[in-house]
Amino acid sequence: DAGLKKTFDTICTVPGSVGAVMIREDGEILRASGDMNDPDEAFALSNLMKDAAQLVKIALPEAKSLTRLTVSRQSGVTVVATLHHNHVFGVKQVDR
């Protein structure tokens, strides 16, 4: 799908990006670049999205769905995961 590829290519160019991943909702990794080529990182990210979605349902039952999840570490590493067309797009960024 050209739209999904374009979205993936776009997140690869986010400033400070050191890796990106596109995962189907069932957890299958479709594309990966940089740090996200590590299957363990991509797998962890897809599980994190699922867990976060469950937390959102608990905290905000009226919320339709979790669309974006941001995880930041004090070391200057941020991972942002976004749901888009039944896929999870993840980007790992480092402060420059």
Percent of the chain with pLDDT over 90: 24
Mean pLDDT of all residues in 48-57: 80
- In 25-86, the DSSP E strands lie at 29-34, 68-72, 77-84
Type and span of the H or E element at 17? strand 17-24
Q: In whole numbers, what is the pLDDT of the chain averaged over residues?
A: 85
pLDDT of residue 16: 92
Percent of the chain with pLDDT over 70: 98
**Which pTM does this prediction carry?**
0.78
Q: Which residues of 43-60 are buried (b: 16+ CB within 10 A; e: fewer)?
A: eebbebbeebbeebeeee
Greater confidence (63 vs 21) lies with 21
- Rounded CA-CA distance 6/50 in Å is 24
| Bridge partner list, 81 | 69, 90
Q: Which of 46, 43, 39 is nearest to 89 (CA)?
A: 46
pLDDT of residue 42: 80
Strand order in the sheet with 17-24: 29-34, 17-24, 87-94, 77-84, 68-72
Q: Encode pLDDT of 31-46 as tens digits.
A: 999 988 988 888 888 7
